[in-house]
Amino acid sequence: MKINDNRPIGVFDSGMGGLTVLKELQAILPHENFIYVADSLNLPYGDKTEDQIIQFTQRIMDWFKQQDVKMVVLACHTSSAIAHASLIQNAAFPILCSITPIAEHFKNQSRHIGIMATQRTTQSKVFEKYFLSHNNDHKLVSLACPEFVPLIEAQQIDTIESSLIVQRYLNEFLDRNIETLIFGCTHYPYLKKMLEKLLPENSFLTFEDPGFYLALKTSKTLEELNLKNNGLNGATKFYSTHAPDIFAEKIKFALDIKTNVNLVKA
């Protein structure tokens, strides 16, 4: 028997990167209610210690529990890489990792894969772990791109300076004859158009956004656990741990909507 569960789904990232995941979730699950939290106070996560990332993320999970969410989507690959295993041990709700779904998608396709990610995600080698556990024939190259998140958060992605920075990292992957380049940080899809423009004309390199596969996994999990909201179109509430007015500007840039952002102390 299907029930109508209109409790919200928590979506979490250190900043505006997770808005790329939220957009995919809203497209696939238009009836669901979402609560999006950006831990802007501690941005970026890519240069933090493992203990700090676990601590920051656990605080947000505790806050989500107070909001009676039915599920949390970690729309942050660094949090998924470092904190997911710890978070699910005593969780009051399902917590979805952002990396597993795309690894499952490629399990039957042996590829030469490049992963651009934060410093902490690259050091964790979590993408290698998940991808090779599904298909040992993958060839993987992970490179940290620490300059990307500050550029994106500052909304400086169409400048000559940003183009030169992106080209430098892209060349490192092209030199390794990568077939598929995966955005190993949820911020990086904002750079897709620039990356495509910078590709050589004879390049067959394709880009993959794990956010799409995470949204599909979320829908499937809701169905399996009988947690779907089958009512009217849902709504989204936005929160930030720092400077909510500034984060509202980033939402306008990313999603082209004007909305209120509330301050959350977690």
Q: Give the residue numbers annotated as catalytic, written as ranges.
A: 76, 185
The secondary structure of residue 191, as a DSSP letter, is: G
Residues 153, 185: contact at Cβ < 8 Å? Answer: no
Q: What is the DSSP letter of 185?
A: S
List the helix and strand counts (H, then E) for the chain.
11, 10
Q: How far apart are CA 196 and CA 199, in angstroms?
A: 5
Tokens of 7: 């409790």
> What's phi and psi for 30, nearest 5 deg?
-65, -20
CA geometry: angle 75, 76, 80, nearest 5 deg: 105
Pair of tokens at residue 50? 């493992």
CA distance 92 to 99: 21
How many residues appear in the chain? 266
Determine the residue type at 72: V
Nearest to 46 by CA among 21, 17, 68, 69: 17
116: its two tokens? 């651009």
